Every structure is written in C-alpha cells, then in structure tokens.
A and B are shown apart, each in its own frame.
Chain A
C-alpha cells in the first residue's frame, strides 16, 4: 500500500506541468499576480475599475504580440513600480516574508515533536499498562477478536 501511494505521487509530480494554452490565459495569469494600481489592496484580476479593464486588455495585447510573461511583468514594474507585484521578491527585505513562515512552521513542528517525545511515557512501562483501566494482554486479545468478529470479513 505504501509503495502504491509513493509510486502514485512520484508519477504525478514527475509528469505534472502547468500549461497555459493561449495569450488570454497568460494575460489572466499575469493579472492574478499583479496588484491593481486602481483598486487598493486588490489584484488587477479582481479590480472592477474601467481602467483596470483597459490594463488587462493591454496585457492581453502584449501576450498576443508574443511578449513573455517575464517581459510583461518587467514592463508593468517599470511603469507602476515594484509594489505592482502581488508577492514580495525572493531577495532583500522581501525574502524575510517568505522564510519566516517557513522557519516558524519548522520551529513549531520541532517544538511539538520535542514535547510529544518528552511527554510520551517512558518505554519501561509494562506492555499492558494503562493508568485508568487495567487491561491485560489477554483482555486486549479477546477485545480485538470480538471487534474483528463485529466488523465482519475484511
């Protein structure tokens, strides 16, 4: 089962690739990755302003003319400044925006793992130890058998 899951995921990751079919898809994708100069706090894609419509059309025209995504983004940045990009750069001050959640997540996971290991009971307890209910190994075996009987054939 484990092998099947790993093989499935490996196949998916190895062969998956995003594909943008045409200029309009490229333009839509770009408009989702830039902030609107006309609607504060909203991407160009989501901005209802007439001027936003014009800018989206301009991006579409550029894409139809054969400009690449990177070229169009650079052109927009030159015209409207770096805040036009809807995500912080992966360098300089922008890098911190990306790495802090990562480090915080890893730190929290490490902390939780450490706590769990510390709090987990030491291994020198008897195998059938239970603080509240004293169940013997024989009891467990009988319980498993009864449950298996109740579930029916697998």
Chain B
C-alpha cells in the first residue's frame, strides 16, 4: 500500500462508533431532557464527521498515489487520469459516492445541530438522534457490503480508469450538487421528525431549518440543470432530459420539496397545513433515499445506474422504516397538528398555494408511477413493458403547464380573500400578454398546441411577475422620489424573500421557454465524404477533413465542418470522435454553436478508413434560454438565501405560563 489507504477502514469503524454514540447520547438527551447528554451527542456527531473526513482523505490519497491495491482505485482511476478527475473518481463509483454522501451527511448534521443548539434542547436532541441513526445506516453500508477500501490481488499495473463520459467539467460539479440536495433534506426531515417526537409542533422546526431547506433545494435545482447541461454537451443525442430513471430519481424529491417550500409559507403565515407540511418533508426525504436505492440497487436499467450491487436489500428495510415510522408518528400526532386557522375564502393566495401543492405532488406521483411501473407490471403479471419519454411527456406536460399558469396567478391573489373584481383588474394585463403571444405565434405559423400554450402561459406568468416588480418599485418611487433602478433594487432588498422568489419564478419561465423551443427542433443525419454537404434547418454543413492526433488517454479524430447560413460563411466547427485507450471505448465530443435564437449541434457518429464521416446535426431553437433561466434562478436563490429568516413565531403558550409574574399578581 503506497498511500494513507490503511487509515480507511479504521476511520470508517471509528465514524460508525461515534455515530452510534451520538445516537445513544441524543436519545438519552431527548428522553431524559438532559442537555449534557445532548451536547455530548452533538460532539460525538462532530467526531463522526472528522473520522468520515479522514476516510475520504485516505481514499483521495489512494487515488492520487495510483494505489491499485485497492479495488476501487483500480476500477475507477488510471495513471493517465488527469488530476481534477481524481476528485470525480471519488464519487464516480458506488462505494466512493456512498462515502461522499456520508461525509456530507455527517458534516451537515454537525453544523445544523451546532447552529440549532440555542433552540429547544429536546428538539435538537431528537433531531440529533434521527441524524445519527441515518449516519449509522450509511456507515454500516460502508463498513459491511460496500467498503471503498477492499483490497485487490494481484495488484494491477494500471487501473481501468474513469468512464470517459464522466471525464467532463460538469461531472465535477453535478454529482456533488445533487448529493448536497439529497443529503441537505436530511436536516429539515430530522427536525420535522424531532418536532413530532418531542411534541414541539410550533414553527420552530421549520424556522430552524428554513435555510437548510432552501440550500438543499437550490443545490438540487442547479444540480439537475447541470445534469441536463452535461447530457447536452457530452451524450451527443441533441437533448438534455431523457426521463431516465436516475433523472427521475432527482426530479421527484425536487417536485415535493418545491411543494413544501410553498406550503410551509402557509404554516408560517396562517398556522395551517401542519400535517401536510411534515408529510411533504417526510415524502421528500423518502424520495431522495428511494432515488439512491434506485441508482444503486440495479433494479432499473439506466445509463447512469451504478452496476448491480448487494445494497438494494439494505435500502428497502431502511426506506420502509423511515416511511412507516414517519407516517406512524404523524398519525399519532394528528390532534396536536390541527390547524389554528381556517381558509377565509376560495379566492385567496392560500387556495392558489394549495392548488400548486396538489399539482406538484400529482406530478411527483406521475413520475414515480412511470418509473416503477415496469417493475410492478412484471412482478404482478409477468408482462414486460417499457415506460419511456412519450409516457412522461404525455402525463407531465399538462401538469407542468398548469403549474406555470398558477405560478403567474399566485402572486396576483392576496392572502385571505380577494374579490373577483379586484382579481379581474390585476389579471387583465398578464392575460392580455398571454393571449397576444399565442395569437402572434399562431399568425406567424406556429401550430403546436403544446408550444402555443407553453409560450402563452410563460408570457402570462412573466407579465404577472414583472407587474409585481413594477407595482412594488412604483410605491417606492412615489414615496422616496428616486429613480427606477434605485427603486427596483431597494424594493428587492427590502423584501428579499418575496422578490427572490419572484426572480426564481422568472428563471423557471425562461427554462420553460427553452423547453418549449424543443417543439421546433430539426435533426438530420448524413454520411459525407470530404467536400460533401448536408442541410439542417437554415444551415449548410460542408465536411472538409478529418484531423487525427493523440494524447496519453485517447486517440483524437476531429472533423472540420464549414458552416454556411443563407449563403453566408459562418466559419467552422470541430466535432470529435475519440477512442479512449484505457477503457477501449469510443466517445463523441459534440460541437455546439449556441445563441439566444437557436443552437447548431453537430456530432460525428462514426467514420471509416477513407475518412468518410457520419454526421448527426440538430438545430435546437431557444435551448440557450434553459441555461440563462438556470442562472436567473440561481440569482433568485442567492437573494432568497441572503434574506433574514422569518420572525420567529412566538410559541402559543398561555399568557399565565409565558408571564408567570403577571399571572400571579
């Protein structure tokens, strides 16, 4: 062994020990109201994090030292793998990704428990127990069936190397962000369960974890978009979302978490939907763990799925315990979870939020159902069938469009109640924008009903949101007599939660515009000899030559393709078809010329000894807006995360308890 890998197994055993200690101490702290035990449990969690960190350092040093005496290092790295991708190799295989997951879990748990220690001790104690229990489960996986430190004999001279598709800058960011999202939901989940267990069912559990929820949701959102960007630039099929089971696994918790982020506002403002909110965060975390199970059990076939492993049978009992235990405790606390208020009127923002929640949960259910249906059908009837993108598009797109419509309606309606007349006044401008957009597109020749509705609803929602910005800054300008830019920035700054949320919504609208552009994509495929041309969209592509070169990792074959549009020369693009030596695997590198109107996307699918090349070319309208929308979302998330937390809702304690002196006077 030429590295610190020898520290790996002892570190994992130590981490498991400290997680167990933390679990016991936090349980003692919770059941005996012992703050000392809780504080010791918190410290044990910090030690667990430190030991897990040491295990990660051990694996990283083994990767960088090319210590092929470890099976993991031999399988997921090679001598020619460049430095940054050694970090990618850390989460490129199942065992390493579980280790990374556990590092995040113990790290987040340490920080969350430390930050929340000032709040109710019993809440923190129960949350600590839940988090330590989850950490015990993942550390047991790492110690027993999926150790990244398993020895390999005989020791090979070189490793197999990381999958070439994973050797992309996006893959250095996308998986950590997804894991951050998945693991981040552990914190609100643990505090929700702690609230139920400790009967502390006021707002403290979600005010303590509001930033964690937003942080996890933001990381998952950006992670999902980056996954799409990776697929678009690396996989070479001209798209970014394939309703692949693993994509679905990340999308389902995103949908329920988005519902939670909206419905928790109702609890915050009106002390309503308490059962719904704890159920939603339970469902979100269960779906995150279920996604991990799907990814690692080998039960579903997917381009992303890790090879079939033995850990599926570990995940199912854990998932069942979490779901049944969580639902059981929710049912046991139904009386304490009764709403303190009622809806005042059907025409209210509360109703819009509830409708939005129903749509998000229905969408999550539709995606879950489509993902698991092939297994259910085969198990129950022996019939094998496929559920692919056409099914998901048919089921999800109507729900998605309804959600976009509600995104526009929500901000227009006031809390508690709104008269029809008042609603009519605020909705007419956005409605006109939507209708004019549909008519304009229709007159200009667009005939896709889905695209027309999507663009119309996007215009409606954008109009509604921009109207909110306009109204807000106009009030500020009227009051303080300042310029429009100053008024706008001050308006956002004074209410970052509200306007940060609107900016996120604007980002979503831009993403939907980009997605709707997919209805107009053009695709052509041709086998070309040097000097021959093909047409796609308004472009003429002329294949000039094939240039060959090599690097230590791969043989590189670059096609020089001249681009012309309407007879005008537009320069050249350079798609590649490379052969990775360690993996003996070909891989295409896409050439993309991107812009706000459309992307020209060219891939070499094959070439022969004479240098003839098969080119696949796409013109993808408006795809650029997906990435711009993600950037806008990110800026909105940053504003949201920078906002001060909601004023802590005072626990509804009777006056004589809250003010004993006054009561006894």
A residues whose Cβ falls under 8 Å from a Cβ of B: 1, 4-5, 8-9, 11-13, 15-19, 24, 28, 32-33, 35, 39-43, 45-48, 50, 53, 56-57, 60, 81-89, 92-94, 96-98, 100-101, 104-105, 108-109, 111-112, 115-117, 119-121, 130-131, 150-152, 154
Asked whether, in the complex, the Cβ of B242 is within 8 Å of the Cβ of A46, the reply is yes
B residues whose Cβ falls under 8 Å from a Cβ of A: 235-237, 239, 242, 244-245, 300-303, 305, 339, 341-346, 351, 354-355, 357-358, 361-362, 365-366, 369-370, 373, 377, 380-381, 383-391, 394-395, 399, 416, 424-425, 428, 431-432, 434-435, 438-439, 442, 447-449, 452-453, 456, 471, 474-475, 478, 523-525, 588, 605-606, 614
Asked whether, in the complex, the Cβ of B524 is within 8 Å of the Cβ of A24, the reply is yes
Q: A121-B342, A151-B474 are in contact. Are A46 and B237 (CB under 8 A)?
A: yes
Closest CB of chain A to B389's CB: distance in Å? 6
In the complex formed, the residue of B with least CB distance to A39 is B303
Q: A48-B236, A97-B369 are in contact. List 10 more A-B contacts (CB 8 A).
A: A12-B438, A16-B452, A41-B303, A53-B605, A88-B387, A97-B377, A97-B391, A101-B362, A105-B366, A120-B344
Asked whether, in the complex, the Cβ of B361 is within 8 Å of the Cβ of A87, the reply is no
Asked whether, in the complex, the Cβ of A112 is within 8 Å of the Cβ of B354, the reply is yes
Asked whether, in the complex, the Cβ of B428 is within 8 Å of the Cβ of A121, the reply is no
- Which of A43, A84, A97 lies in contact with B370, CB distance below 8 A? A97
A/B interface sample: 5 pairs, CB < 8 A: A57-B525, A93-B385, A131-B341, A150-B478, A151-B474
CA distance A32 to B245 in the complex (A): 17
Asked whether, in the complex, the Cβ of A48 is within 8 Å of the Cβ of B237, the reply is yes
CA distance A96 to B373 in the complex (A): 9
CA distance A28 to B449 in the complex (A): 20
Q: A41-B302, A101-B366 are in contact. Are A50 and B387 (CB under 8 A)?
A: no
Chain B hits for A82, CB < 8 A: 384-385
Asked whether, in the complex, the Cβ of B345 is within 8 Å of the Cβ of A9, the reply is no
Chain B hits for A32, CB < 8 A: 389-390
Chain A hits for B236, CB < 8 A: 48
Most buried by B among A19, A86, A98, A154: A86
CA distance A44 to B432 in the complex (A): 42
Closest CB of chain A to B127's CB: distance in Å? 30
In the complex formed, the residue of B with least CB distance to A107 is B362
Closest CB of chain B to A141's CB: distance in Å? 12
Asked whether, in the complex, the Cβ of B389 is within 8 Å of the Cβ of A115, the reply is no
Asked whether, in the complex, the Cβ of B395 is within 8 Å of the Cβ of A119, the reply is no
Chain A hits for B365, CB < 8 A: 101, 104
Closest CB of chain B to A60's CB: distance in Å? 7
Asked whether, in the complex, the Cβ of B448 is within 8 Å of the Cβ of A86, the reply is no
Asked whether, in the complex, the Cβ of A108 is within 8 Å of the Cβ of B358, the reply is yes
In the complex formed, the residue of B with least CB distance to A13 is B449
Closest CB of chain B to A48's CB: distance in Å? 6
Chain B residues touching A, majority SS? helix
- Which of A5, A35, A60, A119 lies in contact with B435, CB distance below 8 A? A5
- Which of A18, A112, A121, A150 lies in contact with B447, CB distance below 8 A? A18
CA distance A42 to B241 in the complex (A): 11
Asked whether, in the complex, the Cβ of B439 is within 8 Å of the Cβ of A8, the reply is yes
CA distance A111 to B434 in the complex (A): 30
Chain B hits for A45, CB < 8 A: 237
Chain B hits for A98, CB < 8 A: 391, 395
Closest CB of chain B to A145's CB: distance in Å? 13
Chain A hits for B447, CB < 8 A: 15-19
Q: A9-B438, A101-B362 are in contact. Are A41 and B245 (CB under 8 A)?
A: yes
Most buried by A among B237, B383, B605: B237
Asked whether, in the complex, the Cβ of A88 is within 8 Å of the Cβ of B373, the reply is yes
Chain B hits for A42, CB < 8 A: 242, 244, 303
User: What are the 4 A-B residue pairs with the smallest beta carbon separation, nearest first?
Assistant: A86-B388, A40-B301, A46-B237, A41-B301
CA distance A75 to B456 in the complex (A): 39
Asked whether, in the complex, the Cβ of A41 is within 8 Å of the Cβ of B300, the reply is yes
Closest CB of chain B to A16's CB: distance in Å? 5
- Which of B303, B369, B384, B525 lies in contact with A60, CB distance below 8 A? B525
Chain A hits for B377, CB < 8 A: 88, 93-94, 96-97
In the complex formed, the residue of A with least CB distance to B451 is A16
Asked whether, in the complex, the Cβ of B343 is within 8 Å of the Cβ of A48, the reply is no
Closest CB of chain B to A152's CB: distance in Å? 8
CA distance A109 to B341 in the complex (A): 22
Chain A hits for B614, CB < 8 A: 53
Asked whether, in the complex, the Cβ of A86 is within 8 Å of the Cβ of B386, the reply is yes
Closest CB of chain A to B634's CB: distance in Å? 27
CA distance A46 to B243 in the complex (A): 11
In the complex formed, the residue of B with least CB distance to A46 is B237
Closest CB of chain A to B508's CB: distance in Å? 21
Chain B hits for A154, CB < 8 A: 425
CA distance A94 to B380 in the complex (A): 12
In the complex formed, the residue of B with least CB distance to A108 is B358
CA distance A40 to B301 in the complex (A): 6
Asked whether, in the complex, the Cβ of A112 is within 8 Å of the Cβ of B387, the reply is no
In the complex formed, the residue of B with least CB distance to A35 is B386
Asked whether, in the complex, the Cβ of A87 is within 8 Å of the Cβ of B345, the reply is no
Closest CB of chain B to A32's CB: distance in Å? 7
Closest CB of chain B to A115's CB: distance in Å? 7
CA distance A18 to B148 in the complex (A): 52
In the complex formed, the residue of A with least CB distance to B426 is A151
Asked whether, in the complex, the Cβ of A108 is within 8 Å of the Cβ of B362, the reply is yes
Chain B hits for A24, CB < 8 A: 523-525
CA distance A18 to B519 in the complex (A): 10
